[in-house]
Amino acid sequence: MSRKNLTVAGLMTAAFTVILLTFLLRPAEEAKLKQAALPPVPGPPQEKTMKKTSLVQDVSATDRLNRTDVSRHLRTMLAETHGAAPRDISAYAKRLQQGHGHITMLMWIDYRTHKTSTFKSSLPEGTDQENKQLLKYLNMAKSAIKGHQSYESPSFIIGDKKYYFMAQRDQEGHIGVIALISQNILERVADHQLKNLRLIPYPKEGKYRVESVHADTLKDITVKTGHDNENASHFYENEIVVRFKNGHPTPGQLQTISADIRCKQPRKLGYAYIFRSDKLNYSQLKTYFAYKWSPEYTEPHYMYLTNDTSYENTGTGAVTPNDLLFSTYQWNLPAIETEQGWNLSKGSNEVIVAVVDTGVQASHPDLQGQLLAGYNAISSGSAPDDDVGHGTHVAGIIGAITNNEEGVAGISWYNKILPVKALDNSGAGTTYSVAEGIIWAADNGAKVINLSLGNYADSQFLHDAIKYAYDRDVVIVSAAGNDNTERPGYPAAYEEVLAVAATNSAGERASFSNYGDYIDVAAPGESIASTYPDNQYAALSGTSMASPHVAALAGLIRSLNPALTNNEVMELMTANAVDLGEAGHDKYYGWGQVDIYKTLRAAGGSDVPLQLFPQHVGQQLKSMREKADTAH
């Protein structure tokens, strides 16, 4: 018998033995008590009410995060400028306000010299009544710190903007500082979440010549309400995606097409081309290509939208980080056993997690050193900066600096984040930009890709990009969507992708979360605190927030055990999830809510875990057969 045949026989014997032992030695599992039947899925009116409640909750939570963060900055300023010269105090205040634009005014009071210094001294002006209220709260702040008390005013409105005052005094009682804080972040979060919770039509038809079709029938549909989004797939009316049967057309054929449909040079990505016509709509373009070129497939150039919504120690025990907002606001990390999991893996800078999204704010103090250079698929050659907030929030869930006494704790301490901007400043992107972002990430070292975006159209073009990354051993994780519908969303529903639903702090399905047989796992997605542009923090809700929890876990697993394939990583996460809802797989939670500690413990070290060994052997056999076939 040849050495190759002996090896194959040995592997097959080992596989059979392990399978037999796995079944014989498996401990008897206790029968699970089924939870009470889930309440009926809410209809449009109830769903809208619940989403509005979520939005209000997120805005309120963001307000609390903001106030906690500002209070820390004022205390730090008092401590770090203790005994400093006026010039140094002024320089410190200038740096603080440059990095935190929401600190509109700083007033420094020295009670020893009775001198007051004001930085950015002009106060906002409104009506007489509004100005009177502002001065009332300013005087209350002065009175409080004079009496050695800290102070925090309610929010008040000047013009169309919202503000509040905060005041602190140093421990010795010599110095007091008062800050006027702009609350523009609350308006941004509310506006963001109106779209991402689909409380309003999004994107607006007529912008960028966008049309919509019913995802099942492909018949025209007009999106008049936020609820209509669950049936709608948006696309560009004058564009078409084409994959030709015989590979790529010749330059002469492309010139003929350009003349026929009156278009400029098409965009090419992988096997497909995108043509934009100056005279034909999608229906006419589809007829033209089908009649004259007989392509392998044609489809609309779909748009993909963000899937988020907005709210208000080492050893064997749990690792509790000292990040300012962790204990009070980050309920989501203990819920999935993150602290215990950190004893097994905190990540590795060798394992890259890509965030294909709206970009990331590279200068955020809680993301310093965590980000790689990245890529901009919207504006070639530009940095992948975040002009929406969504990508920065997603990145912070994965890898905000942990244990730095600032802001939030990320799930991974050391995995590098690769920001890929594939969604524009409206929070929407095209099939091309998303596919380009996925392919670029796969080609540039990503071992995990997070996709907190989606649409209801099954795009072969996008699926090609997903397969491209999957074939290169990338773990792909995607958000299920926020329309409270059973309709499969893409890319989450592709078999190569781990689809993630959202849960709340009670371990129940979030009211907005999509569901269906394609759901693989669930993760926290309601009122999740994370990084936000302008060096701030916000609480957002959505499956967009659930997905990066799972992507971060994939990064920890691949850091702990690099020998595992992408499929084995996915199987570990589903096999070790905490079962919720009906026993086993169900359409609301998939296999259950991810458990970081349990999964990392199963992942082990350098060896393949016992429960995955049969599959691992099978993959080795398949690889050997393919090599043997190639050799012959």
pLDDT of residue 599: 97
121 or 316: which leads in pLDDT: 121
- Would you call 123 helix, strand, or coil by DSSP? coil
CATH 3.30.450 fits 44-186, yes or no: yes
Q: Would the pLDDT of 133 be above 60?
A: yes
Bridge partners of 177? 108, 168
Sign of CA dihedral 62, 63, 69, 72: negative
Q: Which 3 state secondary structure label does DSSP give 169?
A: strand
Give the pLDDT of residue 9.
45
Q: Where are the domains of the chain?
A: 44-186, 239-300, 325-605
pLDDT of residue 450: 98
**Residue 465 has what DSSP assignment?**
H
Q: Which of 277, 544, 547, 559 is catalytic?
A: 544
User: Could you tell me if residue 83 is left (phi over 0), alpha (psi between -120 and 50 degrees) or otherwise beta?
Assistant: left
Token pair belonging to 576: 């070790």
> What token pair was written down for 21?
């032992």
Supply 629's token pair. Answer: 């076939």
Residue 146 near residue 138, CB atoms below 8 Å: no
Cα separations (Å) of 615 from 567, 608, 628?
Answer: 10, 10, 20
- Tokens representing 534? 């302008």
Centre a 10 Å sphere on the Cβ of residue 65 and count the other Cβ atoms it contains.
25
**Residue 247 pLDDT grade (very low, low, confident, very high; cuts 50, 70, 90):** confident
What b-and-e string marks burial along 532-558, b requiring 16 or more CB atoms within 10 Å of the CB? bbbbbbbbbbbbbbbbbbbbbbbbbbb
Cβ neighbours for 41, distance < 8 A, ≥ 6 positions apart: 484, 486, 515
Reported for 84-88, long-range contacts at CB under 8 A and 24+ positions apart, including other chains, are 86/117
Residue 82 has phi, psi (to 5 degrees) of -60, 120
pLDDT band for position 265 (cuts 50, 70, 90): confident
pLDDT band at 234 (very low <50, low <70, confident <90, very high): low
- The whole model's pTM is what? 0.74
Residue 257 φ/ψ, nearest 5 degrees: -60, -45
HEC profile for 386-429?
A: CCCCHHHHHHHHHHCCCCCCCCCCCCCCCCEEEEEECCCCCCEE
What pLDDT is stored for residue 449 in this prediction? 98
Q: Does domain 325-605 have CATH number 1.10.10.10?
A: no
Gap between the terminal Cα atoms of the chain: 18
For 381-408, what is the mean pLDDT?
95
Residue 94 confidence class, pLDDT cut points 50, 70, 90: very high
Q: What is the pLDDT of residue 139?
A: 95
Q: Is 588 exposed, middle or buried (0-12, 13-18, 19+ CB in 10 A)?
A: buried
Verify cis geometry, omega within 30 degrees of 0, for the bond prior to 124. no
For residue 349, give both structure tokens: 């800078």
- The residues, any chain, with a CB within 8 Å of residue 209's CB and separated by 6 or more, are 236, 237, 238
Here the tokens at position 565 are: 């394939």
pLDDT of amino acid 17:
42
- Cβ-in-10-Å burial (0-12, 13-18, 19+) of 160 comes to exposed
390 in active site: yes
Do residues 489 and 304 make contact, with C-beta atoms less than 8 angstroms apart?
no
Lowest mean pLDDT among 115-119, 205-209, 265-269, 592-596: 205-209
The chain-wide mean pLDDT, for the chain, equals 84
Assess whether 357 carries a catalytic annotation.
yes
Compute the distance between CA of residue 602 and CA of residue 594 in angstroms, rounded to an integer. Answer: 13
**How wide is the angle at C-alpha 300 spanned by C-alphas 296 and 301, nearest 5°?**
110
**Catalytic residue (choose from 58, 63, 308, 357):** 357
What CA–CA distance (Å, rounded) separates 505 from 308? 16
Task: Please name which of 124, 530, 228 lies closest in space to residue 367, comparing C-alpha atoms.
Answer: 530
Annotated catalytic, 527? no
Count of positions (residues) in the chain: 632
Q: Name beta bridge partners: 524.
A: 503
More confident residue, 324 or 620: 324
Show Cβ contacts of residue 132 under 8 Å, excluding neighbours closer than 6 positions.
none
In whole angstroms, give the CA distance from residue 237 to residue 393: 32
Confidence of residue 566 (pLDDT cuts 50, 70, 90): very high
CB atoms within 10 A of CB 196: 29
